[in-house]
A and B are shown apart, each in its own frame.
Chain A
Amino acid sequence: MSTTADDVRADDGAGEGADEVPLVAQKKHSLALRWMHWVNFPVLMVMMYSGMRIYWSDLREPYALGIGGWQIFEFWPDSVNSGLELERKLAKGIAFHLNFGWFFVINGIAYMFFLARKGEWRHIVPDVQAIKDSRKTVAHDLHLSKDKPVQGKYNPAQQITYTLVIVMAALLVFSGFAIYKPGQLSWLEAAFGGYDYARFVHFSMTILLMLFFLTHVLQVVRAGWGNFASMVTGYRLDRADSAEVAPASAFGPHGLDDIDGLDDAGADSHSDVVADERTHAGEGSAS
């Protein structure tokens, strides 16, 4: 066999066709992280729903959204109140709220341990450079700029948002306890500046989390199926030479170097990798 330029390229590309780069998947989110992420969804839905039922029961001085003296709307419009059957359901609202709240608390505590022990916080908490770069991410996302700042697992804007969401969730829980037990936890009530302020914080954080939720869903839709699937499967499927899969591939000590090496050795050893993984998976499914 004579070696041509085309052959070399074919070998580099896993031997499955001249121009094709193989697809591989890299682990992005651990099982624990995915569980904690998805548990939030039904729990917060129930919490917000039951919370709105509680909120409905006294509407003499409703919270309202406005700018200056100009009120845009009150929480919540009648259509929402009757559409969601919030009226006259206080007892059930409380019962759901004070039961499901614990799931959110437990999930939050587990997540704090996770952030600390697995070092996950380093992916989330932005450094000074990331804070400076966040402007660029927003400009890039709005198609105002092609310049994409350097990032780790999350981009600077994500880091800032996720950090704020964690802070907001903590405020939500603590203000909740201040409202729940202002007798035994009167220090907590005082920390929020009193009962009314604690209620205001509790309500505001809820609204902000709702806004985050909408943005989050929008961004996931924008980011595409692969991004969504990675939060379900834990893996991100992409072209082997893509920076999305393994940003360190071109530089790092492991990453795609391993796969490249195997591919260089030919198609046989590539299928060895698959065979190995099969055995590995087989252990799980056989038991």
Chain B
Amino acid sequence: MIGDARNEQEAERERRLRELTDDGEIISAEEYKRRSRRSFLSFGALGVAGYVGFNVLQNQEENENIPRALRWGLERNDDLWSALERDGATARTFDISDREDIRVNGTIGLESELAENLSVSMRVEGEEYASVPAVAARDLESHDMVWEHKCVEGWANIVHWTGATFSDFLAEYGPEDDDWNYVSMRTPDEEYYVGLDRYTSFHDQTLLAWAWNGQDLTPERGAPLRLVTPFKYGIKQLKRIGIIEFTNTRPTDYWYERGYDWHAGF
């Protein structure tokens, strides 16, 4: 009895599988030959087209060190993610005890001698309207934030920053006219420069920092004042801020010119 029920079940399953599988159209061998010739020709043509297309893409004229089509795609990615940026998005934070060492990954823009009592030149579309001593940031409300600093190379470390929010700094020292979409930040020698969008500029986790892991910044880490934010890769987090310029033209960016995407953000 039990055996019968089992066999019946198996037979039923077999029948279901057959029914499911056996819905394909049946054609004669001759017709198959005709259709398969056509299929293989299309298949081959598409394969060749793909191969040629890839080579054309790789050798295409470049826009800021990236083949033009790929640059176009990166810009569309930027549009998409900029449109999706929402207020209240917060990067993950950590406990101060989780903080790690971090490697000094670049010294471009830091090679000239660090001036004592460096002041930040504040500009609107190229015109300086104020010069703010870097130490003035320390008079603003101080925040301690611990997040994962991410490098475009793939590594990431949990880092503890101390600084003032850029939005507090803007409230105090920003231009009178709030009509700007971008910020360009540059080192005093203008060897290294980054462009920042408005969203990131006003984000609560975007700081002008003067201390790292509890210690004042050293010159190679960006003293006296540097930009840090968990919403951009390290390549955007300018060390040794010398110039802050507000503009409506998207400013260029050191690594953008070398083939990376402008947004470079999370």
Interface residues of A (CB under 8 A from B): 22-28, 38, 42, 46, 54-55, 57-58, 60-61, 90-92, 94-96, 98-99, 102, 122-123, 127, 129, 150-153, 180-184, 186, 189-190, 194-196, 199, 229, 232-235, 237, 245-249, 251-252, 254-256, 258-259, 270, 273-274, 277-278, 281
Knowing that A150-B10, A247-B22, A248-B19 are A-B contacts, what are 8 other residue pairs whose CB atoms are under 8 Å apart, sorted by A's residue number?
A: A38-B43, A54-B154, A90-B152, A91-B65, A98-B73, A150-B17, A183-B91, A278-B31
How many A-B residue contacts, CB cutoff 8 Å? 179
Contact B40 A232 (CB under 8 A): yes
- Complex Cα distance, B259 from A26, in Å, reads 50
Q: Which residues of chain B from 22 to 37 have any CB-CB distance to chain A below 8 Å in the complex?
A: 22, 24-32, 34-36
Most chain B CB atoms below 10 A, which of A26, A122, A152, A183: A183
Interface residues of B (CB under 8 A from A): 10, 13-15, 17-22, 24-32, 34-36, 39-40, 43, 46, 50, 54, 65-67, 69-71, 73-74, 77, 81, 84-86, 89-92, 148, 150-156, 230-231, 255, 258-261, 265-266
Contact B32 A235 (CB under 8 A): yes
Contact B27 A25 (CB under 8 A): yes
CB distance from B240 to the nearest CB of A (A): 24
- Complex Cα distance, B151 from A155, in Å, reads 45
- Complex Cα distance, B85 from A183, in Å, reads 9
Nearest 6 CB-CB pairs, A to B? A91-B259, A183-B266, A248-B22, A27-B24, A25-B32, A248-B18
Contact B20 A122 (CB under 8 A): yes
Contact B39 A234 (CB under 8 A): yes
Residues of A within 8 A of B153 (CB): 57-58, 90
- Complex Cα distance, B85 from A54, in Å, reads 25
Residues of B within 8 A of A248 (CB): 18-19, 21-22
- Complex Cα distance, B266 from A183, in Å, reads 5
Residues of A within 8 A of B40 (CB): 229, 232-233
CB distance from A177 to the nearest CB of B (A): 11
Listed by A's residue number, 19 A-B pairs whose Cβ atoms lie within 8 Å are A26-B26, A27-B26, A27-B27, A42-B54, A58-B151, A58-B155, A90-B152, A91-B66, A95-B73, A98-B261, A99-B73, A99-B74, A150-B10, A183-B91, A229-B40, A232-B43, A251-B15, A255-B22, A277-B27
Contact A235 B14 (CB under 8 A): no
- Complex Cα distance, B265 from A190, in Å, reads 18
Determine the residue in chain B with the shortest Cβ distance to A43: B50
Q: Which of A26, A28, A182 contacts B150 (CB 8 A)?
A: A182
- Complex Cα distance, B240 from A97, in Å, reads 32
Contact A254 B266 (CB under 8 A): no
Contact B70 A96 (CB under 8 A): yes
- Complex Cα distance, B29 from A259, in Å, reads 12
Determine the residue in chain A with the shortest Cβ distance to B25: A27
Contact B89 A183 (CB under 8 A): yes
Contact A254 B150 (CB under 8 A): no
Residues of B within 8 A of A237 (CB): 29, 32, 36
- Complex Cα distance, B91 from A194, in Å, reads 11
Q: Which of B22, B69, B70 contacts A254 (CB 8 A)?
A: B22
- Complex Cα distance, B100 from A203, in Å, reads 24
